[in-house]
Amino acid sequence: MKAFRIKINSWTSSFRYPNLISGFQPTLEVPPVSTVMGLINAASGKYLENRQIELGYYFDFRIKTIDLETIYQIKTNDKNYPDNSVKSNVIQREFLYDCRLFLFLLDEELISCFRHPAYQLLLGRSCDLAGIENIKEVEMSEVQDARFAGQVVPFNENYLPGQIQALPKYFSNTIPRKNMGTEPYSVISYNNPVDSQLTGFRIELEEFESDIFFHKFEV
């Protein structure tokens, strides 16, 4: 199978746990599918909808550590509008350092967007700026009993071990944004590979050791 591989890197990344708003802020060790879709939207410069998307990816990093961060908490009044009361607080936030994302796409139109991205690319929050190292065409072979690392795989019907998290596939183009297609995923870190009975795709002589799971959905 012919595919296009985009190698993206960043100094830092942080992927928030869903529903954790205050207190210690841990990070997932793999970006959710929705984060990768956000990258594609940013590169294309528009909200993609009414399209069938196929994508696979692999993510790794050098270290995970903790930083202190100042946040500002704003109170709201009875009408749910912010008032003039602002309180600062210091929290601990995990982040990943020296990160690499290998994104695999089949759609040549989407690939052209990454050659000249419309907006800045982020691997996490607004401070986690990312850059494109290279884009190349690759040949991927289908393999059985694939071995996965550095990615998320839908838990339902696959039942792979790993950290199980309910994650969205996408977000709506509304304010406030709404989660779309939320379901449980096995979050499989790059340093804890998992053997499976699933079909995956493999590239010989790649920069990492993992087969690739392709996500197929309509947005």
Spatial separation of the C-alpha atoms in residues 200 and 205, rounded to whole Å = 16
Residues 15 and 95: their CA atoms lie apart, in Å, by: 8
pLDDT for 22:
67
Q: Under a CB-based contact definition with an 8 Å cutoff, are residues 172 and 33 in contact? A: no
* Nearest C-alpha neighbor of 14 from the set 74, 91, 85: 91
Residue 28: predicted pLDDT:
96
Q: Can you list the domains of the chain with their CATH numbers?
A: 2-218 (3.30.70)
Identify the helix (H) or strand (E) that includes residue 111.
helix 108-115
What is residue 171's three-state secondary structure?
Answer: strand
How far apart CA 145 and CA 31 sit, in angstroms, is: 23
State how far the Cα of 10 lies from the Cα of 72, in Å rounded to an integer: 26
CA 34, CA 178: separation in Å to the nearest integer?
Answer: 12
**Residue-wise pLDDT tens for the chain (219 aa)?**
999 999 999 999 999 888 776 678 899 999 999 999 999 999 999 998 877 899 999 999 999 999 998 888 787 777 777 777 788 888 899 999 999 999 999 999 999 999 999 999 999 999 999 999 999 999 999 999 999 999 999 999 999 999 999 999 898 888 888 888 899 999 999 999 999 999 999 998 899 999 999 999 887
User: What does the alpha-carbon distance between residue 148 and residue 123 come to, in Å, rounded to a whole number?
Assistant: 21
